[in-house]
Amino acid sequence: MTDASARIDPRNEIADIDRRVFGGFVEHLGRHIYDGIHEPAHETADADGFRTDVIELVKELGVSTIRYPGGNFVSGYRWEDGIGPADRRPRRLDLAWHSTETNEVGLHEFQNWLDKVGSDLMLAVNLGTRGTQEALDLLEYANTTADTDWTRQRAVNGRDEPFGVKMWCLGNEMDGWWQLGHRNAGDYGALASRTAKAMRMLDPGVELVVCGSSGSGMPTFGAWERTVLEHTFDDVEFISCHSYYQEQGSDAQEFLASGVDMARFIESVVAIADAVAATKKSDKRIMISFDEWNVWYLHNEDGTQSGEELKDKGWPVAPRLLEDQYHALDAVVFGDLLITLLQHADRVRSASLAQLVNVIAPIMTEPGGPAWKQTTFFPFSLTSRLAGERAVRVPVDCGTFTSSRFGEVAAVNAVATLDDDGLSLFVVNRSTVDAADLRLDLSQVAGAFGRDLTVVESHLLHDDDLYAANTLEDPERVGVRPAGATAVDGTLTLTLPAVSWAAVRLA
């Protein structure tokens, strides 16, 4: 047992929290759409073919805005394939995931699903194999009230009123060699700028996300952001960040430092964006849309790319692809990534968990069978539900461990949120060895409220078996339990086992 202490001071406020930071991501990939959210033959399916058991889990997860339809998929997608009578829609080959796309679910069906789960739509346009005109066509179809051919088609297809999509991604991972139509930074930046300017002429109220690097490990990282923003600085509100994490070589302690990597990534992109602003003598601040993040076992143990095996199996429809099984350890790292996003709430104004169902997902389904929660479901659903209006720094005085990449890393990491009714604390013990006895001074918060705070609920995610997982055979093996937090005389006490994540609500 080691000691950890901290004090919450409302004056340490980071920023208000944009609820879009609790967003998700749905791509036409594997069994995400078909046999995931949409399975007309399932016993729980509604009149539109959507699984209601999945709908209830997505609602409990608490996702705000959902990015769609990709991802790599979007760089070869013709959005017109997904409108009109479903039985007349073309079947297409999806080069991104070496699959066949039936187009049974398109824009209208997906918006209907969003209406059921209570989330907003965030659309990505194809700047891989297509360009400015096709982006304008989609924007006109989705958002315009004028009497045009596109809006008449929208009405015929069942929607008189516009979709009213606010947030748009200008392509996806255009720096990646794997991306259809990938470009260098100058070519992409020029195209993104032209497209953004044209979209604003049609709908001045849109918020636009330009592609940042596909990850901080890309050889062009940094230079890509600078060049792209030099082209698009005046045209966009956001630049994207994408990052995935996995345990390498059974090194759990190093894996538990993933949040440090995410923090450095965010801070590097912010520094580059602000440097571009300085050269333009502008006080505008580009925000970050961290619109792909998760734990993803992207590389197999032999070093090969996950999903490559599909290339030898023809062009299947909705294959089982990227269906990672998440352990207790993964969920603790995942919870720390959420803490990191909230610690940067001043610049991370949108984020999308990639993805939601079956594909590197917190929710799994079996065709004709049940749906269940993976371990990563719990930190997301609890943080989304309990997070208040404003993020507050919580500097923790605690022990450290040595990371081969980052040097000395704090064993305990935390963030708090405040609202008019109380306080929420999110905290992780990254140590694989030592439990931590956390004492949190609440006196400054109590003074701000004019009264003491009491614990309303507390949740602990921990398992003695770091590799315990929820499966079809044992869907409730890992969950959360009461954390045993208490608040007495202005001090919160909480014991965190090694490799654990906790959420506490005080009111």
Positions marked catalytic: 173, 292
Residues 443 and 489: beta-carbon distance below 8 Å: no
The one-letter code for the residue type at 176 is G
How would you classify the pairing of strands 167-170 and 120-125?
A: parallel
Q: How far apart are CA 65 and CA 67, in angstroms?
A: 7
Beta partners for residue 487, in sequence order:
492
CA distances from 222 to 77, 285, 344 (A): 28, 17, 19
Q: What is the chain's length?
A: 507
Q: How far apart are CA 216 and CA 266, in angstroms?
A: 9
**Is the C-alpha dihedral spanning 247, 248, 253, 257 positive or negative?**
negative
**DSSP one-letter code for 202:** H
131 Cβ partners below 8 Å, 6+ apart? 191, 195
The arrangement of strands across the sheet holding 436-441 comes to: 396-397, 2-7, 436-441, 491-496, 486-488
Residue in the block written with tokens 């609202």: 419
* Number of other CB atoms surrounding residue 52 within 10 Å: 14
Q: And the tokens for 430?
A: 């990254």
* Number of other CB atoms surrounding residue 136 within 10 Å: 18
* Number of other CB atoms surrounding residue 392 within 10 Å: 25
Q: How far apart are CA 297 and CA 280, in angstroms?
A: 40
Residues 124 and 210: beta-carbon distance below 8 Å: no
Burial (CB < 10 A; 0-12, 13-18, 19+), residue 476, is exposed
The number of CA neighbours under 13 Å toward the Cβ of 212 is 28
Q: And the tokens for 129?
A: 């194999």
Task: Give the 3-state secondary structure of residue 18.
Answer: coil
The one-letter code for the residue type at 410 is A
Q: What is the DSSP string of 120-174?
A: EEEEEE--SS--HHHHHHHHHHHH--S--HHHHHHHHTT-SS-----EEEE-S-T
Q: And the tokens for 106?
A: 């398109």
Nearest 5°: the CA angle 9, 13, 14 is 140
**DSSP one-letter code for 79:** G
Residues 21 and 335: beta-carbon distance below 8 Å: no
52 Cβ partners below 8 Å, 6+ apart? 44, 45, 46
